[in-house]
Amino acid sequence: MDLGDKRPSELYADMRHAANNALSEAVLQDLWASRLPAHAQSAVIAFRGTVAEKMAVADAIMDSLNLRGMNAGGPSRVHTVTAPPNPEIAELRQMVRDLARSVAKLSTEQSHRRSGSRSRHRYNSRSRDRQTTTTVEPSATVCYYHRRWGQEARKCYPPCSYTPTPTGPNTKQ
């Protein structure tokens, strides 16, 4: 049996009638008190008096709470309030996720570029060195710049005996 909309004294009378003298008065009082809301239960258990006085205390507590607008369930019934989802926060979270993905993608691409450009750079610099050494024969009297760049050298250090190759109609100056 539950308290429901009944007064505590009515609940006790119903429980006593249902027990049909099968339970002792002490057991019946304990069962009855356990069915009361927590705030009324502690007052009834702490009160030293007759069963009729305990029922009067429980009725008075429940009546005062009902006058204040509390229901029989009392404060044990709690309504949770959830804030509506804020679209701006959701949008910001999505933007942060997108930025994280972009940064990861860019760092991956950049590491691939670095490793690829290093190997190409090494290859190109070696092949360029081979080309310059084959077109201009190194000699002790040709300066570093003409040995390195040939006709396209912009500097020259003496003593340099470099002589430009003759230009024809098909050669580029």
The answer on pLDDT for 1 being more than 80 is no
Q: Is 119 found in the same domain as 68?
A: no
Q: Which of 69, 72, 63, 60 has its CA nearest to residue 3?
A: 72
**Same domain for 116 and 67:** no
Q: Which amino acid does the sequence have at 6?
A: K
Buried/exposed 10-47: b ≥16 CB within 10 Å, e otherwise: ebbeebeeeeeeeeeeeebbeebbebbbeebbebbeee
* Residue 63 and residue 15 share a domain: yes
Same domain, 60 and 15: yes
Residue 27 belongs to domain spanning? 8-76
Domain count, the chain: 2
Q: What is the token pair recorded at 89?
A: 């926060």
- Averaged pLDDT, 139-144: 77
Confidence at residue 72, expressed as pLDDT on a 0 to 100 scale: 47
Nearest one of 71, 40, 68 to 56, comparing CA atoms: 40
Is there a single domain that holds both residue 59 and residue 105? no
142 domain residue, yes or no: no
Whether 70 and 92 map to the same domain: the answer is: no
Which pLDDT value is given to residue 29? 81
Q: Identify whether 59 is part of a domain.
A: yes
In a domain, 112, yes or no: yes
pTM of the model: 0.38
